[in-house]
């Protein structure tokens, strides 16, 4: 028939009628967009929209006035003595915390990692545990211990030594440095100890064979080799201490000690345009300080060859402490007691006190303070809300982290490292800066309005905490052979199917670890939540901060214990999954 002759003469016409889009693509020679390209493109666009644009707008607003370049806001802000002093306090306190942390953690890392110190594994677990404690919970604990009027430790010392006044006052510059050092030194300890354990021991052993004492070998060989790790750990402490809000707010502000983070929050609370502008100026200053140091560290590390890990065995001979073993054990034990056991004990003890006015007595302990907290719907709502927000953040963040890590490790696309850099910039940017950038960008002035909603909280958690998840997943992806993916493609599976059936099962432990690395800090986060929450989105961190601010010590202690229990359970699961290689 005529119809059949038409089909015979145009063998492609049937397929063109059934698949018109595909036919059109072939005729126009348009590139086909596969699932891999689409997913990666969407991931990059999301990172640009939720990380780059808010921070870019924040910087733009700080230097532009009525469409013209103008730095008058910086001159106006820093002409005020209180702001200039806050900047000076931030730098000075962070430097002191950094120096103290390095001076304490380097010998700790050496004693625990390279000597025959008794109970080394237990000491390591205790010291890393301080990394799990939210800094503002640690601040609450030390205000209970060293409050000049009712602090447990001050009261004990006054009784023991018959003192007329308390020997310590936590609400001072020294008290603030003390608490910051205890709860940010784990950054340095983890960095230094891991590098020390993987360092090639042959140079140290050669030094010992040549007649050098253990301390001489430590000073002449180990210390120079460990210089980059010490610098890296120290700068992480500096950035963490300078970006912290909880400790300066709880410990510093009652003593009129202001830093940049507390000044920024104070300006935001003013609620007017001038307050936001001043906050923006200080926030950009803090952002450049933190990110500038981070990129300086990366640049410095890339200039020289700091190879300390060889292909040979990296299991060093442990240094025998001999007659110094008892003193070293006492030193490490004392620090572990002060950093972890004492503050945790204070929080737990306060939560089980029947009456704060009766003091520490056996008949003054019970569960009376727990009952109203567990029956309070507002408190329970905050706990469940925080768990829900953290769950959503972890799920979304882990998916994004998987795609970012894949792009960086498994492709040769030009600019493949850009998303990884964007995630790193978000992670290194101080929390208070991220919160202010999101307030300005997502208040409806630039299209999307997320202000006071749960989504702005979730976005802030993703921006801040995706970095560790990306690093964890990328490290695992680099060990997966590309031949497995090629086999899946040859079998006809698309990229998403390959991810689901091949790649994800192989790196499942790292995916779970990456999930927890977002979930746990999102659950107890304070700084961003304190600026971004609304009447219906209050989180447990904000509630705890408010209780402490309004002197409801017992309820604050009960909630602190609940937070610590959840964090510790999460960390146990994470250690189980990651076989102890990762800790929150």
Most confidently predicted of 314-318, 445-449, 483-487, 493-497: 445-449
Q: What are phi and psi of 115, to 5 degrees?
A: -125, 175
- CB burial of residue 164 (10 Å; 0-12, 13-18, 19+): exposed
pLDDT band at 116, cuts 50/70/90?
Answer: confident
Instruction: Supply the pLDDT for residue 311.
Output: 47
pLDDT band at 11, cuts 50/70/90?
Answer: very low
C-alpha distances (whole Å) from 487 to each of 477, 483, 492, 498 are: 17, 6, 9, 9
Instruction: Supply the pLDDT for residue 121.
Output: 85
Residues forming beta bridges with residue 115, ordered by sequence position: 319
Instruction: Supply the pLDDT for residue 204.
Output: 66
Residues forming beta bridges with residue 449, ordered by sequence position: 443
Instruction: Supply the pLDDT for residue 25.
Output: 44
For 512-543, what is each residue's pLDDT tens digit? 989 998 999 999 999 999 999 998 999 999 99
Higher pLDDT among residues 8 and 324, named by residue: 324
Q: What is the mean pLDDT of residues 471-475?
A: 89
pLDDT band at 447, cuts 50/70/90?
Answer: confident
pLDDT band at 33, cuts 50/70/90?
Answer: low
Residues 120/547, Cβ–Cβ less than 8 Å: no
Distance CA 523, CA 464 (A): 13
Q: What is the mean pLDDT of residues 393-406?
A: 93
Q: Name which of 293-302, 347-356, 364-373 the model is least confident about.
A: 293-302
**Among 570, 522, 397, 523, which residue's Cα sits nearest to residue 470?**
397
Instruction: Supply the pLDDT for residue 34.
Output: 65
Distance CA 546, CA 548 (A): 5
Asked if residue 3 has pLDDT above 80, the reply is no
For 268-315, what is each residue's pLDDT tens digit? 998 888 899 999 999 999 999 888 887 777 776 665 444 444 445 455
Residues 527/314, Cβ–Cβ less than 8 Å: no
Of the chain, the percentage scoring pLDDT greater than 90 comes to: 50
Instruction: Supply the pLDDT for residue 303.
Output: 55
Q: What is the mean pLDDT of residues 550-561?
A: 89
For 163-215, what is each residue's pLDDT tens digit? 989 999 999 999 999 999 999 999 899 888 877 777 666 666 677 677 666 67
pLDDT band at 7, cuts 50/70/90?
Answer: very low
Q: What is the mean pLDDT of residues 557-581?
A: 83
pTM for this entry: 0.86
Distance CA 429, CA 286 (A): 8
Higher pLDDT among residues 183 and 17, named by residue: 183
C-alpha distance across the termini of the chain, in Å: 76
* CA angle (153 as vertex; 149, 156 as ends), nearest 5: 90
Distance CA 373, CA 381 (A): 11
CA-derived radius of gyration, the chain: 28
Instruction: Supply the pLDDT for residue 232.
Output: 84
Q: Name which of 166-180, 199-213, 387-401, 474-488 the model is least confident about.
A: 199-213
Of the chain, the percentage scoring pLDDT greater than 70 comes to: 88
Residue recorded with tokens 């498994």: 410
pLDDT band at 580, cuts 50/70/90?
Answer: low
- CB burial of residue 188 (10 Å; 0-12, 13-18, 19+): buried
Residue recorded with tokens 């981070």: 294
Higher pLDDT among residues 11 and 219, named by residue: 219
Asked if residue 54 has pLDDT above 70, the reply is yes
Residue-wise DSSP of 466-524: HHHHHHHHHHHHTTS-HHHHHHHHHTT--HHHHIIIIIHHHTHHHHHHHHHHHHHHHHH
Torsion of CA 462, 467, 471, 472, to 10 degrees: -50
The helix or strand, by DSSP H or E, that contains position 95, with its residue range, turns out to be helix 81-114
Q: What is the mean pLDDT of residues 456-479?
A: 92
Distance CA 353, CA 561 (A): 13
DSSP three-state, residue 65: strand
Average model confidence (pLDDT) across the chain: 85
pLDDT band at 578, cuts 50/70/90?
Answer: low
Instruction: Supply the pLDDT for residue 201.
Output: 67
pLDDT band at 17, cuts 50/70/90?
Answer: very low
- Strand ranges for 17-167 from DSSP E: 64-65, 68-69
Q: Name which of 93-97, 407-411, 414-418 the model is least confident about.
A: 414-418
Range list of H helices, 416-453 = 418-428, 431-441
Range list of H helices, 355-428 = 370-375, 377-410, 418-428
């Amino acid at each position: 028939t005529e119809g059949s002759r038409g089909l015979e003469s145009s063998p492609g016409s049937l397929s063109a009628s059934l698949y018109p889009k595909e036919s059109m693509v072939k005729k126009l020679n348009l590139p086909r967009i596969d699932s891999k390209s689409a997913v990666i493109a969407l991931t990059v666009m999301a990172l640009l929209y939720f990380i780059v644009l808010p921070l870019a707008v924040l910087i733009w607003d700080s230097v532009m006035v009525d469409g013209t370049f103008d730095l008058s806001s910086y001159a106006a802000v820093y002409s005020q003595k209180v702001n200039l002093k806050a900047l000076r306090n931030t730098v000075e306190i962070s430097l002191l915390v950094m120096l103290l942390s390095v001076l304490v953690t380097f010998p700790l890392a050496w004693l625990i990692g390279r000597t025959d110190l008794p109970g080394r594994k237990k000491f390591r677990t205790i010291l890393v545990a301080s990394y799990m404690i939210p800094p503002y919970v640690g601040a609450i604990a030390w205000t209970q211990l060293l409050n000049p009027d009712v602090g447990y430790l001050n009261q004990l010392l006054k009784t023991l030594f018959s003192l007329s006044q308390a020997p310590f006052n936590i609400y001072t510059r020294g008290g603030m440095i003390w608490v910051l050092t205890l709860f940010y030194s784990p950054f340095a300890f983890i960095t230094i100890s891991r590098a020390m354990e993987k360092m090639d021991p042959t140079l140290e052993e050669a030094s010992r064979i040549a007649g050098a004492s253990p301390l001489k070998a430590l000073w002449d060989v180990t210390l120079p080799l460990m210089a980059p790790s010490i610098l890296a750990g120290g700068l992480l402490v500096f950035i963490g201490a300078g970006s912290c809000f909880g400790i300066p707010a709880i410990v510093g502000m009652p003593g009129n000690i202001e830093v940049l983070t507390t000044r920024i929050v104070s300006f935001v609370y003013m609620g007017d345009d001038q307050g936001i502008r001043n906050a923006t100026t200080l926030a950009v200053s803090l952002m450049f300080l933190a990110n500038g140091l981070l990129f300086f560290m990366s640049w410095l590390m890339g200039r020289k060859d700091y190879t300390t890990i060889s292909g040979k065995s990296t299991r060093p001979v442990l240094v025998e402490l001999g007659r110094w073993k008892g003193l070293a054990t006492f030193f490490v034990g004392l620090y572990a007691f002060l950093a972890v056991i004492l503050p945790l004990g204070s929080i737990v003890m306060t939560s089980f006190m029947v009456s704060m006015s009766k003091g520490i007595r056996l008949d003054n302990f019970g569960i009376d303070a727990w009952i109203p907290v567990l029956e309070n719907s507002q408190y329970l709502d905050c706990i469940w809300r925080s768990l829900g927000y953290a769950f959503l953040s972890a799920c979304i963040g882990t998916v994004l982290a998987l795609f970012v890590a894949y792009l960086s490790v498994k492709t040769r696309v030009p600019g493949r490292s850009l998303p990884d850099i964007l995630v790193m910039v978000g992670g290194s940017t101080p929390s208070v800066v991220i919160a202010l950038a999101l307030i300005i960008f997502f208040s409806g002035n630039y299209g999307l309005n997320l202000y006071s909603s749960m989504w702005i909280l979730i976005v802030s958690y993703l921006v801040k905490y995706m970095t560790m998840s990306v690093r964890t997943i990328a490290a695992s992806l680099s060990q997966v052979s590309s031949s497995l993916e090629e086999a899946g493609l040859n079998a006809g599976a698309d990229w998403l199917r390959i991810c689901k059936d091949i790649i994800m099962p192989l790196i499942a432990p790292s995916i779970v670890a990456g999930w927890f690395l977002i979930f746990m800090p999102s659950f107890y986060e304070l700084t961003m939540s304190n600026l971004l929450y609304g009447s219906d989105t209050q989180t447990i961190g904000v509630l705890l901060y408010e209780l402490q601010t309004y002197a409801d010590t017992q309820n604050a202690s009960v909630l602190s214990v609940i937070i610590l229990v959840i964090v510790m359970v999460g960390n146990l699961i994470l250690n189980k999954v990651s076989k102890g290689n990762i800790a929150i």
